[in-house]
């Protein structure tokens, strides 16, 4: 069971490494969207500091969202997806490996880049570790839940916008707890409850989402 | 198959589109009649005879539309997700069709709940929209409905579309309690002492009874609308079956 | 020893409101070759995808060694190798990497046979070349190399589903592949395939989808 899991994970990471230019795209998107807020609203430091937790979380969420479209696309088109599904090893582990690879190549870099953007938005420095921590806990949930929508729409030509429609409502709880933890941290309030809930959502999505991803992929190759 | 025999016989009978069509032919007038009667009685009672609210005066009467539509929006989602699950597990076509028939009705109920909430908000809060926990949850529920309808219409193969929307509605079902909890929590954080729409001090029975009538009336109306949509869908999907051809030539 | 491998009962399939086949029933015993024939659009590919458990929009029964495909896919997938229309190799991986991925996810294939498989399809010099730098025919050969990675011991109880396996390869490649199929079948393997080519294999059962 684990053999297929590692094989899929290794393959996905190797593919991302061979096309490392593509890894930059969500990060650049993240930086650019964050840049829009001071330009569109106000560059005043105290104002931006107030806005920062929400802006950073929303931008990270959108960046993770945009990369979902391509998650299964090329595998679907070149036929390796159906070969994965023909494996006698469980499709559940395959789905988990794919979602995990997606997080390692988008969510994780986003979380690591976030402190730089926090600086640009004048987020108080004591809140920065919490920001990174919430992103580390929250973005895998985004990848696992998002992979379901990506799997559902992979066979359609109009994936992009449709995925957003399916996924944004499901992302709301993560956004609420992630952003408000950072908010609390700026005010010096405790954040452990938020982190615990983000962790609970993470566990739930890691355990349950692969079932839905695998079922959706089987449905998608059936067309 | 062995694992299938645990289910009662009517379950299998209902699984046949032909039987289901005939069965709903009998049920339909009863539910339609009940819906009309209950809604007429309920509306007249609510608007004319129920006492005024001591705080809000007559404007509170919109509760008689708002609450039933909000309740229905949620229970239709539940119906849809359960039917989706049945469709996946037992590969039952009728369940798929019911799930499909549910989505737009549920979306319209969620929409109605939002509109009536907004109209109620104007005299109560002084603005058309307030980020109240219940309204926000309802808005997200409406988004979930939109997602399901968008996915269904994006797919050409309707059997697959039914399967895809079933998966999505189940994912949504797991998420609804999480969303509801997080929105409630977010709301208490950001708004102090709001006036909640439905958590009122215990309603007197004269106000409460017409509300009950309205809720049951809404359910009957939902059953009627669902059956109408379902019967259409059966005819479309089974258009090559003998009994459908016969039925169509009769008309 | 021939065992009942595949049993198809009352298969019905429609696509885009067009019935491809109905009341289709046949049996396949291990050690035999079934060639599915029919015009373009007669449903050959759909039938093959149903047999693999990839296409779910059918009614009726598909049984592999007595296990209904709708309930138990694992039994089939332990024994199946499917070659479809798609390239089924990753462009950004080398031939060897692609095949070792296959050996990991489809454990019936043996990773130790990768080299000999590449030799068999004439790609031993290309083992570490990225597939994006190969010609269409060479990519096809990488995909077909999977057929040479199945150890002889696994032939019995195994099934190859090949959709137009001879396209995009040269005459020499066709001969090699045919030879391999023959060897496989003689040693207990079973094949369902579509092709427009007349096969040199003698004991081929035919299934015509046109009527």
C208 touches chain A (CB under 8 A): no
Higher pLDDT, C57 or A136: A136
Q: What percentage of chain A has pLDDT greater than the value 70? A: 100
Q: What is the pLDDT of residue A116?
A: 94
User: Which of C77, C88, C106 is facing A79, going by the closest CB pair?
Assistant: C88
Tell me the residues of chain B between 77 and 116 that have a Cβ less than 8 Å away from chain A: 88
Q: What is the pLDDT of residue B202?
A: 61
Q: What is the pLDDT of residue C205?
A: 83
Return phi, psi of residue A44, to 5°: -60, 130
Q: Minimal CA–CA distance to A70: which of A29, A23, A17, A11?
A: A23
Q: Which chains touch B (3 or more CB pairs under 8 A)?
A: A, C
Query: What's the rounded mean pLDDT across residues B130-157?
Result: 91
Residues of chain B positioned with their CB less than 8 A from the CB of C57: 157, 159-160
Radius of gyration of chain B (CA): 21
Q: What is the pLDDT of residue C74?
A: 86
Residues of chain A positioned with their CB less than 8 A from the CB of B189: 180
Query: What's the rounded mean pLDDT across residues C59-65?
Result: 88
User: Are A212 and B170 contacting, i.e. CB atoms less than 8 angstroms apart?
Assistant: yes
Q: Give residues with Cβ within 8 angstroms of B130, minimum separation 6.
A: B121, B194
Domains of chain C as residue ranges with CATH: 4-86+135-208 (3.40.50.300)
Higher pLDDT, C171 or A135: A135
- Break chain B into its structural domains and give their ranges: 63-250
CA atoms within 13 A on the CB side of C85: 8
Asked if C57 lies within 8 A of B160 by C-beta distance, the reply is: yes
Q: What is the pLDDT of residue B201?
A: 52
Q: What is the pLDDT of residue C30?
A: 87
The C-alpha of A92 sits at a distance from chain C's nearest C-alpha, in angstroms, of: 13
Dihedral angle sign, alpha carbons of residues A21, A27, A29, A32: negative
Q: What is the pLDDT of residues C79-117, one digit of tens each?
A: 999 999 999 999 999 999 999 999 999 999 999 999 999
User: Are A162 and A168 contacting, i.e. CB atoms less than 8 angstroms apart?
Assistant: no
Q: What is the pLDDT of residues B9-39, one digit of tens each?
A: 677 777 788 888 888 889 999 999 999 999 9
- Break chain A into its structural domains and give their ranges: 2-221
Q: What is the pLDDT of residues B77-112, one digit of tens each?
A: 999 999 999 988 887 888 989 999 999 999 999 999
- pLDDT over threshold 60, residue B69: yes
Q: Minimal CA–CA distance to C50: which of C102, C9, C109?
A: C9
The reported pTM is 0.91
Asked if C107 lies within 8 A of A19 by C-beta distance, the reply is: no
Q: What is the pLDDT of residues B191-234, one digit of tens each?
A: 544 444 455 556 677 778 888 999 999 999 999 999 999 999 88
Q: What is the pLDDT of residue A22?
A: 87
Distance of alpha carbon A143 from alpha carbon A95, whole angstroms: 11
Q: What is the pLDDT of residue B194?
A: 43
Q: What is the pLDDT of residue B190?
A: 64
Query: What's the rounded mean pLDDT across residues C52-61?
Result: 86
Residues of chain A positioned with their CB less than 8 A from the CB of C107: 3, 88-89
- pLDDT over threshold 70, residue C163: yes
- pLDDT over threshold 90, residue B5: no
Query: What's the rounded mean pLDDT across residues A3-18?
Result: 93
- Reported confidence tier of residue B2, pLDDT bands at 50, 70, 90: very low
Query: For chain C, what is the mean pLDDT?
Result: 89
DSSP H stretches of helix in C53-148:
74-77, 95-105, 114-120, 136-144
Instruction: List the single residue in B with minimal CA-CA distance to A144.
Output: B171
- Reported confidence tier of residue A65, pLDDT bands at 50, 70, 90: very high
Distance of alpha carbon A141 from alpha carbon A130, whole angstroms: 17
Q: What percentage of chain B has pLDDT greater than the value 90? A: 43
C133 touches chain A (CB under 8 A): no
Asked if C57 lies within 8 A of B157 by C-beta distance, the reply is: yes
Residues of chain C positioned with their CB less than 8 A from the CB of B156: 16
Q: What is the pLDDT of residue B7?
A: 64
């Amino acid at each position: 069971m684990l053999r297929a899991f590692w094989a899929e994970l290794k393959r996905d990471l190797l593919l991302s490494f061979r096309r490392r230019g593509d890894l930059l795209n969500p990060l650049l998107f993240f930086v650019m969207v964050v840049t829009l807020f001071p330009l569109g609203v106000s560059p005043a430091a105290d104002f931006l500091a107030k806005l920062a937790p929400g802006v950073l979380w929303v931008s990270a969420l959108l960046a993770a969202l945009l990369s979902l479209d391509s998650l299964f696309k090329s595998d679907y088109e070149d036929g390796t997806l159906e070969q994965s599904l023909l494996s006698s090893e469980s499709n559940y582990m395959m789905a988990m490996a794919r979602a995990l690879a997606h997080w390692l190549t988008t969510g994780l870099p986003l979380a690591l880049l976030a402190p730089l953007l926090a600086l640009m938005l004048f987020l108080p420095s004591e809140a920065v570790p919490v920001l990174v921590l919430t992103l580390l806990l929250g973005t895998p949930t985004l990848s696992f839940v998002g992979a379901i929508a990506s799997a559902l729409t992979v066979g359609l030509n109009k994936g992009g916008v449709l995925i957003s429609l399916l996924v944004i409502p499901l992302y709301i709880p993560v956004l609420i707890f992630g952003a408000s933890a950072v908010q609390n941290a700026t005010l010096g309030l405790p954040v452990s409850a938020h982190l615990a809930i983000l962790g609970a959502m993470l566990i739930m999505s890691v355990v349950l989402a692969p079932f839905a991803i695998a079922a959706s992929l089987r449905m998608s190759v059936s067309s | 198959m062995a694992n299938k025999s645990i289910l009662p016989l009517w379950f299998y009978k209902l699984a046949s589109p032909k039987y289901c069509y005939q069965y709903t032919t009998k049920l339909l007038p009863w539910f339609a009649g009940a819906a009309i009667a209950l809604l007429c009685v309920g509306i007249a009672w609510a608007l004319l005879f129920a006492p005024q609210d001591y705080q809000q005066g007559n404007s509170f009467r919109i509760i008689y539309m708002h609450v039933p539509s909000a309740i229905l929006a949620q229970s239709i989602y539940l119906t849809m997700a359960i039917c989706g699950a049945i469709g996946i597990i037992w590969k039952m076509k009728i369940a798929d069709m019911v799930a499909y028939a549910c989505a737009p009705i549920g979306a319209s109920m969620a929409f109605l709940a939002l509109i009536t909430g907004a109209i109620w908000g104007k005299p109560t809060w002084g603005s058309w929209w307030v980020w109240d926990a219940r309204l926000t949850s309802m808005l997200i529920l409406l988004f979930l409905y939109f997602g399901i309808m968008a996915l269904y219409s994006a797919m050409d193969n309707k059997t697959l579309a039914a399967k895809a929307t079933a998966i999505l509605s189940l994912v949504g079902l797991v998420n609804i309690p999480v969303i509801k909890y997080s929105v409630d929590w977010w709301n208490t954080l950001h708004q102090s002492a709001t006036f909640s729409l439905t958590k009122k001090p215990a309603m007197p029975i004269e106000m409460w009874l017409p509300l009950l009538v309205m809720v049951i009336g809404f359910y009957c109306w939902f059953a009627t609308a669902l059956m109408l949509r379902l019967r259409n869908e059966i005819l479309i999907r089974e258009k090559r079956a003998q009994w459908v051809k016969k039925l169509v030539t009769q008309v | 020893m021939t065992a009942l491998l595949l049993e198809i009962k009352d298969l019905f399939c429609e696509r885009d409101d067009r019935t491809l086949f109905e009341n289709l029933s046949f049996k396949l015993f291990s050690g035999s070759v079934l060639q599915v024939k029919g015009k373009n659009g007669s449903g050959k590919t759909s039938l093959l995808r149903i047999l693999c458990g990839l296409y779910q929009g059918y009614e009726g029964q598909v049984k592999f060694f007595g296990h209904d495909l709708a309930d138990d896919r694992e039994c089939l997938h332990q024994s199946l190798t499917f070659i479809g229309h798609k390239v089924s190799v990753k462009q950004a991986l080398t031939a060897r990497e692609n095949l070792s991925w296959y050996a990991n996810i489809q454990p019936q294939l043996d990773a130790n046979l990768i080299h000999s498989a590449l030799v068999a399809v004439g790609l031993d010099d290309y083992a570490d070349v990225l597939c994006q730098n190969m010609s269409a025919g060479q990519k096809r050969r990488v995909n077909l190399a999977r057929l040479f990675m199945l150890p002889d011991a696994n032939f019995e109880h195994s099934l190859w589903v090949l959709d137009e396996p001879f396209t995009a390869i040269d005459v020499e490649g066709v001969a090699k592949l045919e030879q391999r199929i023959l060897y496989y079948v003689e040693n207990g393997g079973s094949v369902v395939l579509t092709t427009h080519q007349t096969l040199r294999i003698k004991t081929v059962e035919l299934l015509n989808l046109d009527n």
